[in-house]
Amino acid sequence: MMHRLIAPALAAAFSVAMALPADAMDLTELTDAERAQFRAEVRAYLMDNPEVIMEAVELLQAREAEQQAQADFTLVTENAAAIFDDGYSWVGGNPDGDIVLVEFLDYRCGYCKKAHGEVAKLLETDGNIKWIVKEFPILGEQSVLASRFAVATKQVAGGDSYHALNDALMSFNGDVTLPALRRLGETFGLDVDAIEARMDSEEVTREIAETRALAQKLKISGTPTFVMQDELLRGYLPYDQMQAVVAEKRG
């Protein structure tokens, strides 16, 4: 990351060093001698003031972060209906909450497992957050198998059973196999035969495919990824940071 920033940061540093706006520095208009003198002066300045390079890097990073935030805001706005009201994603927390937290997750993702407890704590301590779960299996066949079983459970047995299974799958650390999933389902008294029969249905396939398509539109490539109100939060966030974002959203 740092190497990628050095070249443009040096260009910005040159502008700082010479006290000129970036668009005023057209080296093509200089003679060879003037260009050599200019480069020597810039090098001498940067050697005497190396902190200028880091200032330029920090400025560039801030600009890139601002541009990414604006791009994410646009993506969320353009896909709001699919994100917040797709008609099939499970809704937990407070359905009437003033803050909406959407989570794209994979049951084989270590950071998703870590985030699960943080999200649960946030929902418990706040009480005014609506939580929407998006099944986004991206870590191989076991991830897909787990998601198919979870979605089939939701469709066959309802939201409460799905919630219980979601919790259990996030705590599960063994290999995800159909026999293991059946045993897990049986602990909740589920009709595992009906769920297994549903797993490869068109309805389950469509739900996972539509969520995958939405993730592609939002440029989501990893889990967990959250959408909170109008903002994309890419990656794991500990409880205190999520709490801070919630407070910011409430103004």
Answer for the pair 196, 145: CB distance below 8 angstroms, yes or no: no
Burial (CB < 10 A; 0-12, 13-18, 19+), residue 54, is exposed
pLDDT for res 74 = 95
Instruction: Classify each residue of 182-209 as buried b or exposed e, where b means 16 or more C-beta atoms within 10 Å of its C-beta.
Output: eebbeeeebebeebbebbeeeebeebbe
Could you give the residue ranges of the DSSP H alpha helices within the chain? 2-18, 32-48, 51-78, 80-84, 110-126, 141-157, 159-171, 178-187, 192-198, 202-217, 239-250
pLDDT at residue 55, as a whole number: 75
Q: What is the pLDDT of residue 47?
A: 80
Question: What pLDDT is attached to residue 4?
Answer: 55
Question: What pLDDT score was predicted for residue 182?
Answer: 98
pLDDT at residue 18, as a whole number: 45
Show the DSSP H helices in 49-106 as ranges: 51-78, 80-84
pTM value is 0.76
Burial of 147 (0-12, 13-18, 19+ CB in 10 A): buried
Structure tokens at 114: 């870590």
* Residue 214: how many other CB atoms lie within 10 Å: 18
75 SS3 class: helix
Q: How many CA atoms lie within 13 A of 85 on its CB side?
A: 3
CA atoms within 13 A on the CB side of 218: 30
Sheet holding 129-135, edge to edge: 90-93, 129-135, 99-105, 225-228, 231-234
pLDDT tens, position by position, for the chain (251 residues)?
545 555 555 555 555 444 444 444 565 677 888 878 888 887 887 787 778 777 767 776 767 667 766 888 999 999 999 999 999 999 999 999 999 999 999 999 999 999 999 999 999 999 999 999 999 999 999 999 999 999 999 999 999 999 999 999 999 999 999 999 999 999 999 999 999 999 999 999 999 999 999 999 999 999 999 999 999 999 999 999 999 999 999 98
